Each structure stands twice: as C-alpha cells, then as structure tokens.
Structure 1
Amino acid sequence: MNFKKLAKMAVIIIASVALLSACGSSTRGSSASKSTSPSLKKGDLIGISMPTKADQRWNVDGANLVKDLKKAGFKTKIEYANNSPSQQSNDINNLVSAGAKAIIVAAVDGTAVGPAVEQAKSQGDIVIAYDRLIMNTKAVDYYVTFDLERTGILEANTIINKLDLKGNGGKTKPLNIALFAGSDDDNNAPYFFKGAWDLLKPYFESGQLVDPSGLVTKDTTDADWKKISVHAWDQNQAQKQMDAFMTKLSQKPLAAVLSPYDAISLGVMKSIKNARPDMSPSTPFSASNPDNKSAWPVITGQDGMDIGITNIKFGAQAQTVFKNVALLANKTTSILTQIADDKKPKSTDAPMSNGKKDVPTWLLKSDELVKNPTGDQKGLHYEVEVGFITEKQYQKDIAAPIIK
C-alpha cells in the first residue's frame, strides 16, 4: 500500500470516529436534558406542602388546592409541617418519593426549605412557591401570592383615617401607637411593613405619631422591620411583646396598633385587657378626645379569621385584610394545567427576586373587610359570599364572645 492511499484511509477512519463520537455525545446530552426537564400530564401526582393545620388559613388553602387540582384531572397528596422547617423538608422529600411530578410549597421558612426543593428539582419536579417565596435558590419555577404591599397600605390607611392624621389628629399632642410586623422568617413580612411604613412614617416625622417603646422612630427604615417582627406569626409571642409595650405605655392613652395578622391582633387585645382593664371596645378611640385613657385603640388585622370577624363585629378590631385564597388555588391549578397542555404560563406582573433568580410571579388582589362597608371596603359577610366560610360558621362568629 503506497503512502497516499494509507493517508487517505487514515483520514476516513478519523472522520468516522469523530462522527460517531459526536453522535454519542449528542445522544447523551439529549438524554440528560430529558431526565431533568419538567414534564407533567393529567393524572400525575401533585404534592402539596402546607405549613400547619393549627391555622384556619392553611386548612382552607389545602382543601382548595386538593379540590381544584382533582377537578383539573390531577392526583394529589398533601402534608402539613406543624410549623417545623425540618419536617417540611422531610415532607417534600417524601412527596417526591411518592411520585409527585410537581410540588406546591407554602414555606414555613422560605430559606430553610431551599435544599429540599433543589432535590425535588433535580428529580425533574416543577416547583411552585405558594403565598411565600422560597429564597436563595434557582429551584423555583413559579410564585403565586397576593399583592404583598397592599395589605400594609390598607391597614395604614385605616389608622390614618380613624386617627384623622390628615386633619388635626396628633397635631396638638402626639398619639401613641404600637407597631408589629410579621414573622422574621417569612419573606412576605417586609413587604407588608414597607406598604404600611411608607404611609405612616411621615406622621412620625411630623410628630403626630409616637411609639412609647422606642422600637419605631422617625428614623426607622423599611430594613428595620425585624425589630418589631413576631416569630411564626404567633399569638402568644405577640402578647408577650405587647406586654412589654404596655409597661412602657403605663397609664397613657393608646391610639392605635398596626397588626399584620388577626391572631397577632388577638394577642395584642389580651395584653391590653390584662394590663389596662379600664380600656374597653365600647369606648373606641377618637381623635377629637385623644386624652381618654380608657378608649380602645384602632387595631388592624389580616386573613379574615373567625376571631377577626368576631372582634370586628364587637368593635375590638377595626378591620381585617381578607385574601380570598380560593384565587390562589385557582391560579396555581391554572399554571399546572397550562404546563400539562404544553403551554408556557405567562404573568403580566413583574417577576420577584429570591436572591438567586427572578421568579415569574402572579400577584392577586386582597380586600378590606369592615363592620360597615363604604367605598371599596366589603362587609364581613363577604367571606360567605366567596365560599371562604359557611353561613353557619359566620353566624357562630358574629355571636361569639369577644376577645376569647
């Protein structure tokens, strides 16, 4: 065999090997991509991880998700984490092991749950952060929640209007106020505080509002919200923090309490009644008589809990920001249905950053419930009208004893 023929044969062999290698590489790459890319079809199992059964809110959310997802043709399995981050991580792992193709997570701790959803994502699961954003991980596909700042805005406006701060309220003598934020491990909490503080801060700067505890001043910023946070949104913890506030307040009048949650509001009320039995909801605070030490403060709330309805009915609470969580379940089911139909879900809302990724986000609208609705406000019966509670439960709520 001459040299030219030998060289030509070598080129052919090398080219053939390269072609086979390229084909093999392409095949392996395609296989790896397929094993990690999300896939979903009707009839698949959807895992649902809720924080706790102890709160009315999460029981309703869980039931709504199960109902809507089953109606859409999916199977479901739901776990409640007893407000334990470690249990929730185990729950998520167990849901994936059970064959779930998508995981819906309302996080107990938005950071602690990160490794568990990363493990789920590595198995090809779709991950939806429900109500609370999962932080510092790329393993979140979608986020469904309510307009986070709107709650704070609605509550702050209630206080501003009730205390006549745009008029003469607090201009002659500063009005005392206590402020609370949500749990220090919940990403929603700082947004609530920002919505409220943007509106209330000018009245601290003008001297119309003052916090006797010193935790909030005119120099407070949005970033300082953890100073007044209530861990795990816990009623008992809120009561302890309010006890400390009432000690500082002493016998002075109290105009208002900014509370981000009905259970926190209840803890606040119990503290007030223990420290100052002279104060009564039958004598609501009035900006025209700010020196009345026995007047009951304007107290806000959120979530439309049964106790919130009771306390609003009897004048102990001024309002609650009600989130029709059926809308969250509807939107979450819609997203998964679109994926199963090979469509890409799209939101008109801006994505939210979790520190590692801009997560596609859907923001839903909450409503303010009050005793006597005006304008955009809604009455307490609205919860029955949208199916959040039954008429029987509503009648029980409005007949219940105050500040249980």
Structure 2
Amino acid sequence: MTLHRTTVTKRLFALLASTSLIMAMGACSSDNETQSHEAESTGTTTTVDAGNVVIFTPSDGITISQQTPLSKWEKLVPEIVSSLKDNDVKGSNITVKTASSLDKQSQSVQDYVVNHVNSTSDDAGSSDKTTLVVAPVADTTESDRQYGDYASHDITWDGNSSDEDAQDYAQSAERLVSALQLAQNEGMKVVLVSNTLQGFTPDVYAPMTTAEQVGQLQAKQLVSKLELDKTSSDNPKHIEVLLPYDAADESGNTVDATFAQDVFKGIWSVLGPYFKDGKAVSPSGTLTSSSTESDWVSVAFDAAKSERVKSTLAKRLGMDKDTSRHTRIDGIISCNDYVAGYVSEELNDLGYTGSAADINPSITISGIVDNITGKKDLKKQSVPDPAQAPESDDGDSGTEDTSDSLDEQNSQWPIITGYGAYVSSIPNIVNGKQWMTALENRKTLASDIAQTCVQLNTSGKLAKLTFISSVAMEDEKVPTIQEEALAVSASNLKKTLIEPGYISLAEAGL
C-alpha cells in the first residue's frame, strides 16, 4: 500500500508540473499568439499516411506518321505523379509500370499483386494502403490510334474462340481480371482508367472520351458553326464525312471496325435529322435522307496512307479527274486531326480559298492571332443567315460571268473538324484552315485521379470529391470520374491549350 501511495503521489506531482507548464505557455500566448499556435500545431499534428500508388499504363501507341496527338500516356503519367506528390504521396511510394501488350501488362500486374500480398503478410505491422491505377492495354488498329492513346475501348473477349490469337488474348485478359480481383480481396483499391474490362468492377472508373462521343462532339460543333437549325432545305448545307478505318491488318486479316462504327454512330445521332429534313446533303451522295447509323461503311475509307485521304476527298467532290470547276462543300467531318491535315492539303491543291474564319465575318485571321497573342479579346457573333441558293451552273444563266461567280462561291473554304489536338494541326487552327479539334482534359484528369487515390488510401470516402458521380457498370453502381473533352477552336485556343501549358506559342506557329 505504501508503494502504491508513493507512485500515485509522484504521478500527481508530474501532472501538476505539466499543468503549470501549460498555464505558463498560455500566459506567453497573450504576448505572441502566432508563435504559441505554431508550437501547439507542431506538437499535435500527425502526418497522414497517403499510402502507395502503382500506375500501370500501356506504352505509347506508335502511329504511321510523326503527327501525334497530345493525348499520349507519356504526357499523362508524369502529371498524375506530380499531382500525387502535391497530395502528399511520397515519391518513393509511387511506382510506374508500362507494357506494350495486354499479355505483358497482365503478367506485370499479377507479379506485383502476388509479391505485395506476400510481403505484407510476412510483416504484420506493415501498412497496406495501396491503390492500383490501371489503364488496360487495348488491341487497337492504326486508325484507332489516330485519335490518341486515351480514347476508351471496351475490352471484351470470347474464351471459347478457336482462333489461337483470340485464345491468347482471352488468357491475358482473364489473368488481368484475376490479378485485380485478388488485389481487391486483399484490401487494395483499383482505379480503372480509360478502358473497361469484361467481368471486372473497379473501385473507381476514370473514363476517357468514347468513340461515339468523338463523333458527337465534332458533329455538334459543325451544326453550331453552320447554324443548321436555321438552314432551309431550299438551300441545304453540303457536308461530307470522312471516316478512317482499317480494312485489314498487316497480315491481311479482317480487323475489328467497332471503333469506326461508333464514331459514325455519334456523328449520325447529331447529323441524321438534318439529312432527313433536307437541310444537309452530301455532294458525293454517300449520305442521304434515308441513311442510318448502320451505313457507316458508305463513308469509310482506308486511311493507312496520306494519299488515300486526298484521293478519297477529290473523288467525293467529283474533282479527281476534272478540277476546272469546284464543287460546293460547306463542312467536312474529318474525324481526327491526322485526316484533317491531309484534307486541308487537298483542298488547297484543288484551289479552294479563304478560311473557316470567312464564314463568320466578325472573326478575321488577324483578329485570331491578336487574340491568341493577348493583344485583344475575340468577340464572336452569330453566323449570318444563309444566302439564297445560288443559281445552277448548267448554263441557264446565259452568261459566263455568272458561271465564274458561282464557281467562286463554290470554291469557298469549308468548316473542317478534327480530334486529337495534334501539335502539327494547331497552326491550321490559327490560320483558319481547320475549324476545331479536341482533346482530353488531361491536366484536370491527372489531378482527379491523384485525389481519388489519396482518398481511397486514407478515409476511403469519395463523397467530397465533386468530380465523381455514380455510374452503372457491370450491373453495379461505380464511382466514376467525370470530365468532358476540351473542344478547341481559334477563339479559345489561347485559354485552353497555351495558358495551361499543353503547347507553346512557337508550336502554335506564333
């Protein structure tokens, strides 16, 4: 009993001493409030363990030309890493792994997950706050890659296929799904980026623009610029759609054209009603009022070679053999910037003049340049109402001057749309040869993914992240990061591409 009393007495004295010290510090705070607050914070703040993040992405796709889009994995990954560090993830806790095929990627993910599970089970005191960021490698065609690395694909397979290549692909895909499911079972989180995996539900999905959305975006921009809602069937707009696809692979085997079909599906969901009402027509006749989304093949062409783009356009305009008279063309949906670049070249070779800026008199090339270089703001006005349908050039007018005047009208430069924001295409945006392009909101997506990883590794609560919504996936509701693609034209190029640092003034041709 004596020992117990002695111990209690000592503890009481210690408590009184601590209380006196705290009171003394409080008295000092009246003289230096900021200093005491910092001291108190230093003594009580604990560092939150933001855990580990492992990023698995495809290697950058190789295209047939040096014209490559801004949407490349080698651009996105460093921005995710930088954002993770900004959100207190230690550099030593961030791992990046790339793979050129689904087979190699699935093996890499499996190896990491198994090794991680074994290492954490051997060390009972180790922290297991780990999130895997996985962008599954899709089996894409050359024309698919013209849209950039991020465009979303649904990765599906037939495990019962008799084709040897298909069997290998299915085996790789199933191995990736099994590895990711094991990771989830062991407490790790999975953020799936861009592509979906048949039979797998991630903790969070970060989709990129789908093929259908690529088509919709360009069609909507064209409808707005040409003001098709105000167009009359007596004077319809003349529109062509150039849809690139791969008819066969290098071995001559038929390839999957789903992506191209979906791009046209998106285009036709917007343009279809205007063709049906006669407000839009196709000079080549490839699209009519009775066309449907299943008629994608009528506007599709093999874009493996640049000359194929140019010859296809000349043929569509009926100028492949006779260039003495121009065919009226108001708008061309090129689908991506690779095709748009060669469309511009061919129109120039065929003698079309002017630029997209001429379609809206309030916007001039000098005004565009001044706006981009910061000399003045660009104020856009509505596209003027369409003029009356021009007289035919069949000689009824009886005057050569009228025919020449009509040809001058027909040779007016059309609206050209694209996608991918190729650095090589930006000067065409500036000079008005290409009306618009688009790209993923890469920097914002990188920040979103980083914040999501930290939340998954710490509280696990995503409700406070305003960019996340719930979307159905594999018959389940999955938290999904939502960011729209950035549509870019001359009027917003400076704000959208140059100021955020996607490209420099020099790259824009300025």
Calculate the TM-score normalised by the size of structure 1.
0.69
- Residue 209 (1) aligns with residue 280 (2): yes
> 1:209-248 CA distances to partner (integer Å, 9 max, x unpaired)?
22355554434444555765689xxx64686356334313
Deviation, 1:90, is 0.9
Q: Does structure 2 conserve the Cα–Cα contact (< 8 Å) formed by 1:108 and 1:186?
A: no
**Secondary structure, aligned partner of 1:89:** helix
Instruction: Please identify the structure whose Cα radius of gyration is greater.
Output: 2
- Residue 326 (1) aligns with residue 443 (2): yes
| Pairing partner for 2:487 from 342, 365, 368 | 368
Cα distance in structure 2, aligned partners of 1:141 and 1:214: 48
Cα distance in structure 2, aligned partners of 1:185 and 1:349: 31
Cα distance in structure 2, aligned partners of 1:141 and 1:181: 35
> 1:183-217 CA distances to partner (integer Å, 9 max, x unpaired)?
99698877765554333111110223223555544
**Range with bigger deviation, 312-321 or 112-121:** 112-121
Q: Which residue matches 2:420? A: 303
Cα distance in structure 2, aligned partners of 1:189 and 1:334: 34
User: What amino acid is aligned across from residue 64 of structure 1 in structure 2?
Assistant: E
Deviation, 1:360, is 3.6
User: What amino acid is aligned across from residue 108 of structure 1 in structure 2?
Assistant: A
Matches within 5 A, 1:35-50: 42-50=50-58
Cα distance in structure 2, aligned partners of 1:166 and 1:394: 36
> 1:359-378 CA distances to partner (integer Å, 9 max, x unpaired)?
4422213333222x3xxxx2
- Residue 66 (1) aligns with residue 134 (2): no
- Residue 294 (1) aligns with residue 411 (2): yes
| Pairing partner for 2:317 from 244, 249, 256 | 249
Q: Which residue matches 1:177? A: 240
| Pairing partner for 1:351 from 471, 475, 478 | 471
| Pairing partner for 1:57 from 52, 65, 71 | 71
Cα distance in structure 2, aligned partners of 1:379 and 1:67: 25
Runs of 4+ more than 6 Å apart: 181-191
Deviation, 1:299, is 0.8
| Pairing partner for 1:262 from 331, 337, 345 | 337
Cα distance in structure 1, aligned partners of 2:298 and 2:155: 19
Cα distance in structure 2, aligned partners of 1:398 and 1:268: 19
CA shift in 2, pair 1:91/1:272, >3 Å:
farther
Cα distance in structure 2, aligned partners of 1:248 and 1:379: 31
Q: Does structure 2 conserve the Cα–Cα contact (< 8 Å) formed by 1:152 and 1:196?
A: yes
CA shift in 2, pair 1:267/1:143, >3 Å:
farther
Q: Which residue matches 1:27? A: none
User: What amino acid is aligned across from residue 94 of structure 1 in structure 2?
Assistant: S
> 1:57-110 CA distances to partner (integer Å, 9 max, x unpaired)?
2132122122223444141213153xxxxx243134224424576142054343
**Secondary structure, aligned partner of 2:230:** coil
Identity %: 19
Cα distance in structure 1, aligned partners of 2:192 and 2:233: 42
Q: Does structure 2 conserve the Cα–Cα contact (< 8 Å) formed by 1:230 and 1:238?
A: no
| Pairing partner for 1:380 from 494, 501, 507 | 494
Deviation, 1:306, is 1.6
Cα distance in structure 2, aligned partners of 1:242 and 1:394: 29
Q: Which residue matches 1:94? A: 108
Q: Which residue matches 1:10? A: none
CA shift in 2, pair 1:330/1:195, >3 Å:
same
Q: Does structure 1 conserve the Cα–Cα contact (< 8 Å) formed by 2:301 and 2:312?
A: no
- Residue 339 (1) aligns with residue 450 (2): no
Matches within 5 A, 1:114-263: 114-124=173-183, 126-130=189-193, 132-146=194-208, 152-168=215-231, 171-172=234-235, 175-180=238-243, 193-213=264-284, 215-222=286-293, 225=296, 236=304, 240=308, 243-251=311-319, 252-263=327-338
CA shift in 2, pair 1:238/1:215, >3 Å:
farther
Q: Which residue matches 1:32? A: none
CA shift in 2, pair 1:343/1:150, >3 Å:
same
Q: Does structure 2 conserve the Cα–Cα contact (< 8 Å) formed by 1:138 and 1:357?
A: no
Calculate the TM-score normalised by the size of structure 2.
0.56
Root mean square deviation of aligned Cα: 3.8
Cα distance in structure 1, aligned partners of 2:339 and 2:418: 8
**Secondary structure, aligned partner of 2:55:** strand
**Secondary structure, aligned partner of 1:48:** strand
Cα distance in structure 1, aligned partners of 2:306 and 2:328: 20
**Secondary structure, aligned partner of 2:335:** coil
Cα distance in structure 2, aligned partners of 1:97 and 1:186: 33
User: What amino acid is aligned across from residue 385 of structure 1 in structure 2?
Assistant: E
CA shift in 2, pair 1:139/1:349, >3 Å:
closer
CA shift in 2, pair 1:107/1:209, >3 Å:
farther
Cα distance in structure 2, aligned partners of 1:230 and 1:117: 34
Q: Does structure 1 conserve the Cα–Cα contact (< 8 Å) formed by 2:313 and 2:343?
A: no
Cα distance in structure 1, aligned partners of 2:487 and 2:219: 12
Q: Does structure 2 conserve the Cα–Cα contact (< 8 Å) formed by 1:48 and 1:77?
A: yes
**Range with bigger deviation, 108-117 or 300-309:** 108-117
Cα distance in structure 1, aligned partners of 2:424 and 2:414: 17
Deviation, 1:312, is 0.5
Cα distance in structure 2, aligned partners of 1:326 and 1:259: 26
Cα distance in structure 2, aligned partners of 1:168 and 1:162: 12
Structure 1, gaps ≥5 residues long: 1-40, 82-86, 400-404
Cα distance in structure 2, aligned partners of 1:224 and 1:263: 23
CA shift in 2, pair 1:190/1:248, >3 Å:
closer
* Equivalent residue pairs, number: 339
Q: Which residue matches 2:351? A: 278
Cα distance in structure 2, aligned partners of 1:136 and 1:216: 35
Higher relative contact order (CA 8 A, sep 6+): 2
Q: Which residue matches 1:395? A: 506
CA shift in 2, pair 1:189/1:328, >3 Å:
farther
**Secondary structure, aligned partner of 2:228:** coil
Deviation, 1:49, is 0.8
CA shift in 2, pair 1:176/1:106, >3 Å:
same
